[in-house]
Structure 1
């Protein structure tokens, strides 16, 4: 049956279920009495939806709360163990796999390092190695948590690069900076990972999954729009216009900040990533005469660079070691490049907030970000620059995995708490059947 606006009764039921689930998830526990005004449904509609969700095991009682003069009201919440999600971060230093319940409690975690020590290795992002890491990681977390794979909402995977969705093979990854040319990652995972064929895969750009996590649970909560920056070996960004809808990944790291500048790992020249990514930052320090630790990975080397540039004062009150002038100069130049890059984001999207996450962004910290803010204000247009807040993300360096895990959760909510959209046959009214038969003669 069609209703106003072209939606069917089934659409309205799904939307009502979605509204109840989302409100309980983000603001629960809540009573039935509180749910109605919060989502704009009548008490009868709320009772019907809640009865369905309780019967399906998705919602459970969570105690009572006193009411004003009446009987205590029963509180409701999402049942944490009614379903599970797996989040995978195909990062630039490791592959991380985590399994969560619906409350995002981590039930198991596995990390598989990618080789980053010494000179940059050609096989660092070998597709077969990455697929094997993901496969082994998923097998291990499922085994450790002892969950029923039939209750998995899906596997979310954050990757570097552009993700194309094809009707034949699903998600295909174009990761130019890591040497991935149209890698059919979804098909490879389906062929390799021993999960039921009914378990869906949601593969997307890592900056986008970070943005999803920060907007749902982190520093983006309450913002109407934001840009979330992923700062790791390279840099990327996600533009989010609504805190509950997925954002869109933008290849911000490959904006040109210097014509005929340094060669970027994407093959072009003068990209922001050629100056501001952790990999380029450490290369520039070495080229300027700095001494990164030999055979150290990027995270260890960046820690050493920060310690050299910002030495800790002596504990006894005496003068501490002098800052390493070379490391400090490279960091200050990098802050200006990033500030100019942030100014581009401000001028293009006029966001309410810019949030910086990723292991390198969080490691650089507030002191470095303060200098970036100054340069961003200088390079951006005055009005949008005066309205934006530039802050560090609050979910830590593992936020990409959390964001990947909530990709299937977002779809679950969108389908009204059903693992797959229900495609019931639309029955035509009698007059439509009669006229169709008449036209055929």
Structure 2
């Protein structure tokens, strides 16, 4: 049966289920009576949808509340045991894998270090090593939590770089520089991954996500296909792969400092710099290659190969390199997180330490604050957001020290009207927000399907057609 606007009754039922699930997830526990105004559905539709969801085990009762003059109202909530998600963060120094239930309670986690002592930083991101870490980490968290793999709603992965999603008909073709590195001797999880050869041809997949990570030496890497081939999971478990800044933004928008904002920009500071802009509180954000805006013509060479990028001045890797050039001495053999902590301690010694500030470190950080302020001004002028929120391990360390100075520079460089209406602050989910955001990518898809798991087979051709197809044909048939 098809509705007059081209949507089928099945479409309408799915949308009703999605509306109820989202309201219960974000605002629950909630009564049936309150769900009506919150979703715009009639009481009969709410009752029917709730009955379905309870019968399927997705929704459960969660106590009751007194009503004015009537019998108590039963509260409903999403059942935390009705499914689980895995979030993966391919970070600068490690690959983190976490297993969550539907309430985002952590059930298990593991971290797999990436080599940091190689002269060539791309070596730590050898495709075979990263895929092996993800494969072994997924198996470990499922085993630790004693969780059957068929309970998974999906696996979300946050990666550095641009992610192109395949069309399902011929796949996504990538363009870029450098070759996808395979094999390697990175210890556990290393080894050659089939199909990950060098050059853009690696991106010629029949659908699935392809990663263009120019700064890490990934040229059109068909990561989704490689994971499906390497990881022992049921065929129906979906993968969602996206830019790490976008997964951080998704987490902060739903559960952190971005909650309630109509528009926000989320900035991720790690070894490099990225951002995500969101204009819909419940919709997906859009990843921005903000770190590769040119802030100085013919400036420092960025790790992407271009000159004068913001990331060449503001990323943790660039900060430490500039400190070395100015005479600073980061701890020998330390990873970037430890070295940045040492740089901040040198620039801002405690009042009771008796040590003088490291003038080289202080000068580099002060210059960086101005570059960041100019970069924030670009975001303010382009998107006029309600909030700009800083996250990532380096952003949280840096922000606590000199965010006030960054704000001053941002307002000086930005247009007065939008600058007066934006708040600039820190994210609240900590350095692991990327993992949380990765996990909720498959959760968002699950809600969009009305709480139904992804189907393994190809969808019938009629269901793949846009809704307007039928109505246009009906008009032209007369």
- Judge conservation of contact 1:344–1:380 (CA < 8 Å) in 2: yes
- Judge conservation of contact 1:118–1:296 (CA < 8 Å) in 2: no
State the 1:3 CA deviation: 2.5
State the 1:117 CA deviation: 4.0
Match of 1:349 among 361, 376, 383: 383
Question: Secondary structure of the residue that 1:279 maps to in structure 2?
Answer: helix
Q: Which residue of 2 aligns with 1:329?
A: 363
Could you tell me how far apart the structure 2 residues matched to 1:123 and 1:169 are? 27
2:226 counterpart of 1:188: yes
State the 1:320 CA deviation: 3.1
Match of 1:239 among 250, 254, 277: 277
Could you tell me how far apart the structure 2 residues matched to 1:361 and 1:117 are? 23
- Judge conservation of contact 2:295–2:371 (CA < 8 Å) in 1: yes
- Judge conservation of contact 2:266–2:389 (CA < 8 Å) in 1: yes
**1:198–1:118 distance in 2 versus 1, CA, 3 Å:** closer
Question: Secondary structure of the residue that 1:343 maps to in structure 2?
Answer: helix
2:249 counterpart of 1:215: no
Question: Secondary structure of the residue that 2:99 maps to in structure 1?
Answer: strand
Q: Which residue of 1 aligns with 2:53?
A: 53
Q: Which residue of 2 aligns with 1:249?
A: 287
Could you tell me how far apart the structure 1 residues matched to 2:412 and 2:5 are? 48
- Where in structure 2 are the equivalents of 1:37-436 lying within 5 Å? 37-117=37-117, 119-166=119-166, 167=168, 168-314=206-352, 320-420=354-454
- Judge conservation of contact 2:28–2:77 (CA < 8 Å) in 1: yes
Could you tell me how far apart the structure 2 residues matched to 1:194 and 1:78 are? 28
Question: Secondary structure of the residue that 1:188 maps to in structure 2?
Answer: helix
- Judge conservation of contact 2:236–2:454 (CA < 8 Å) in 1: no
Question: Secondary structure of the residue that 2:67 maps to in structure 1?
Answer: coil
Which segment is superposed worse, 114-123 or 246-255?
Answer: 114-123
Could you tell me how far apart the structure 2 residues matched to 1:10 and 1:270 are? 52
Q: Which residue of 2 aligns with 1:12?
A: 12
- Judge conservation of contact 1:202–1:407 (CA < 8 Å) in 2: yes
Q: Which runs of 5+ in 2 are unaligned?
A: 169-205, 464-469
Could you tell me how far apart the structure 2 residues matched to 1:231 and 1:366 are? 13
State the 1:280 CA deviation: 0.2
Question: Secondary structure of the residue that 1:340 maps to in structure 2?
Answer: helix
Could you tell me how far apart the structure 1 residues matched to 2:97 and 2:304 are? 27
- Judge conservation of contact 1:163–1:205 (CA < 8 Å) in 2: yes
Q: TM-score if structure 1 supplies the norm length?
A: 0.94
Question: Secondary structure of the residue that 2:313 maps to in structure 1?
Answer: helix
Question: Secondary structure of the residue that 2:287 maps to in structure 1?
Answer: strand
Question: Secondary structure of the residue that 2:388 maps to in structure 1?
Answer: strand
Could you tell me how far apart the structure 2 residues matched to 1:385 and 1:142 are? 47
- Judge conservation of contact 1:83–1:151 (CA < 8 Å) in 2: yes
State the 1:6 CA deviation: 2.4
- Judge conservation of contact 2:237–2:454 (CA < 8 Å) in 1: no
**1:157–1:222 distance in 2 versus 1, CA, 3 Å:** same
**1:240–1:298 distance in 2 versus 1, CA, 3 Å:** same
Which segment is superposed worse, 361-370 or 213-222?
Answer: 361-370
- Judge conservation of contact 1:117–1:298 (CA < 8 Å) in 2: no
Q: TM-score if structure 2 supplies the norm length?
A: 0.87
Length, aligned pairs only: 427
Could you tell me how far apart the structure 1 residues matched to 2:460 and 2:121 are? 52
